[in-house]
Structures are given as C-alpha cells and as structure tokens.
Amino acid sequence: MPQTFPSPHKIKAERVAGFGTTVFTVWSQLAREHQAINLGQGFPDFAPPAFVMVGLKNQLDGYQQYSFLAGMPTLREALAEQYQRDWGRAVDPATEVTVTVGATEGIYATIQALIDPGDEVVLMEPFYDSYPASVTMAGGVCRYVPLRPDDEGSWYLDMDEFRSVVSPNTRMLVLNTPNNPTGKCFTREELQAIADVCIENDVLVLADEVYDHLLFDGREHCSIATLDGMWERTITLSSVGKTFSVTGWKIGWAITSPALTDALQMGLQWVRFSVATPLQLASAEAIQASATNGYYDELTASYQGKRDFLVDALKAAGLRPLIPEGTYFVIADTSDWGFENDESFCRHLVTEVGVVAIPPSHFYSPEHRHLAHHLARFAFCKKDEVLEEAASRLRNAR
C-alpha cells in the first residue's frame, strides 16, 4: 500500500484538532439547502448607508500600498477623536490605537499577546464562540460563568458565581457589552462591581464592544475602560462591521494603554503586518462623517423598529422572547413548542417552517449547555420584508 503523506491523524496540530466547523457555517448551509429565511448568522442583508459607500468609492483611486502595523494614521486619528468624545479622556492615536482585521483578529491577537499556557481566562456564557477558540490556541484555560435570566427576562451576572471562578491563576476576563447573543447591556453599576473584582485580583479585561452603537430604549453604552483604575488593564475592541453594515470589510481596532498596545503589536507584526489600506481610509471617512451627520441615531431607530417587530412576531408564534437591550439578536424561550432541546427546535424550524435560528447551546461550556436547551437565537439585521415573511412563516407554524 502506498503511504499517504502526511498521515491523516498527523495533519492537524493539537491546538486546532478539537475544533469543529462553526455553528454559523453549519446553519447558513442548512438555510441554503432548505431555502429557509436565515435569521441565524448576524450579517445585514441590506446595503450600507450611501455616505459609507461614497467614502469607499473615494478611496478606490487612492493609496493602495502597505499600511503601517498600527494602522493608517487617518483612521487612528478618527478613532482617537471618537473615543475622546465618548470617554472624556485623551486617547493617543500613535501609542494607544491599533487597527485590526475586524474585532475577530483583535480578540485572537489580544489573547495570544497576553495569555501564557496555563493562564486562566474567564468567559461569560453564552459567549461569542471565537473566545474559547482563541484561548485554546494560546494554551490558556477557560473558566466559565453563566449569565442568567431573572424572572422578568433580564440577564444578570451573579457576582458570587463570578467571584467563585476568579483565582490567583486568572489573567483575563472577556466582557462583551452590548452582549451577543443575550442583548444585555451592562450598566455602569454592574461594570463597577466587575471592575472591583478585576482590580482586587489583578485581572486584565478584554472588552468586546462591537455593538457599541446598537442600544435601545434610550440606553447609553458604558465602556469598562472608563472606570477608575480600569484603563491600564482593559483592551477595548470594536469594528465598523455592525455599525456601518459592512461586515465584509473586516476593519476593527484595539484601544488600550501604550504597554498593552506594544504587546499586541509584537504578535500582529508576524501575522499580517498591515490591514487593507483603502478600507481603513473609507472607515475613517465613515467614522468622521458620523460625528455630525446624525447617522448613529438613525441606526438605533431603525434597529429598534426591527427589534420590536421581531419580538412581537415571536410572541405571536407562541415563543417567549427575552427583550434585548442592544445588539441585533433576540433570544427566545421555546419551551411552549415542546421540543427536547435547542438543536431539535432549530432543526424543526429550518426543515418544516423555513426559518433559521441558532441553537445557543454552542455558546456554552459542556457543564452549562443544559441552560440553553429551551432557547433559540434570532437575528433581526434583515430587511423589513424578510422579517415580515419570517413572521408569517412562524405564525402559520403554530
């Protein structure tokens, strides 16, 4: 027998061998197979705003060569101005801003830069699924603490449970607010309680704030980096994807102290050195324009309408939505439909109803997976007519 090389069981390195295909790839494929409405993966199905596309066209004839490791100065300056306005503290575009390939690379690179093998990283469940993967690739150890819905359907972090997973080995907490998939927006008071534990235990915070412009009912986003004693230990990540409906651009950033910026850039220089130049410049234009053109208010109003519509549609279909405070996702309690678990409910939905939702147990550790058994995540970053068709299919399915 001729020997195959490399032998199949040696192809994957240990750090990736345990990974399966992401839940989004699997359910988007099922959506295509069943011609179902895809309320699974969180990408807008509508065009970005016109001023954003004008900015992109402006850059197509412009500079096309390598950018700097930290990112194009114009984008770093636009970001520094925006954060200075929002945070009321100066941000240095030269030493405190790093442009990344979406927030996803920011998450990966931050964890690779700061986590040594054996270091513990606390993740709240349900989590965005790139967090545990990035920790695993760094050789770190995930410690999990679930967010739980209270009797009114608002998600909260039990502080005793949180304290119980923090130990002398804890190096980092990953905090996502507004939170995917729960839609929770942590209040200043909640963040202060979390910050106190982090300071007391010398824990770094990776603050994933990609939905920082998507809050409803007049809520204001609060960044944990702005609390006393937190700037030095927080890496704040965001990106243009959700805010400007350009998830394919993959332009993100990390805002943090010069020391942590330096650590982050040490690794990044060997990963991709720099990020797509015209897209950085177009992102800078979009961010600068949005400081004065009222876009952020329009965005929130439009998404609030979509949220309210989908929440009502889910209720009409006999599901119990937990009202999201931000993001473009809603989690619904599916118990009344009588399925055994989230996987069987979502499978029924795609094959028999023609709507895709994501089974959230993928966003929990094995020991807490049961908490998701009667939940499903629906995305409402879709055209009104698509949401209307999904609503009609769900209503008729009951």
Ligand X SMILES: Cc1ncc(COP(=O)(O)O)c(C=O)c1O
Cα distance between residue 50 and residue 25, in whole Å? 29
- Smallest distance from the beta carbon of 398 to ligand X, in angstroms? 30
Query: Smallest distance, Å, CB 35 to ligand X?
Result: 24
Q: How far is the CB of 327 from ligand X (least distance, A)?
A: 8
Rounded to whole angstroms, the Cα distance separating 80 from 193 reads 27
- On whether the CB atoms of residues 183 and 154 are closer than 8 A, the answer is no
Nearer to ligand X by C-beta: 239 or 337? 239
Nearer to ligand X, 77 or 129 (CB): 129
**Interface residues with ligand X (CB under 6 A)?**
42, 102-104, 128, 176, 180, 208, 210, 239, 241, 247, 250, 252
204-208 and 234-239 strand pairing: parallel
E strands of 97-250, at which residues?
97-101, 120-125, 141-149, 155-157, 170-176, 204-208, 234-239
Measured from the CB atom, the residue of 43 and 345 that comes closer to ligand X is: 43
Give the CA distances from residue 348 to residues 313, 314, 372, in Å, rounded to whole numbers and listed in that order: 18, 16, 17
Our CB check for ligand X shows the closer of 114 and 275 to be 275
State the sign of the Cα–Cα–Cα–Cα dihedral 375, 244, 36, 393. Answer: positive
Find the shortest distance in angstroms from Cβ 208 to ligand X.
5
Q: Which of 146, 104, 103 has its CA nearest to residue 122?
A: 146
In the complex with ligand X, the residue whose CB is nearer, 48 or 241, is 241
In contact, 214 and 178? CB cutoff 8 Å: yes
CB nearer ligand X, residue 104 or residue 245: 104
Query: CB 357 → ligand X: shortest distance, Å?
Result: 15
CB-CB contact of 110 with 264 (8 Å): yes
State which residue, 325 or 337, has the beta carbon closest to ligand X.
325
- Nearest residue (beta carbon) to ligand X: 102
Are 143 and 122 contacting, i.e. CB atoms less than 8 angstroms apart? Answer: yes
- Residue with Cβ nearer ligand X (209 or 342): 209
Q: Is the dihedral of CA 304, 310, 316, 320 positive or negative?
A: negative
Helix (H) or strand (E) holding 287: helix 277-290
In the complex, minimum distance from the CB of residue 160 to ligand X, in angstroms, rounded to a whole number: 25
Minimum CB–partner distance for residue 256 and ligand X (Å): 16
User: Can you read off the two tokens belonging to residue 295?
Assistant: 């876009």
Minimal distance, residue 3 CB to ligand X, in Å = 40
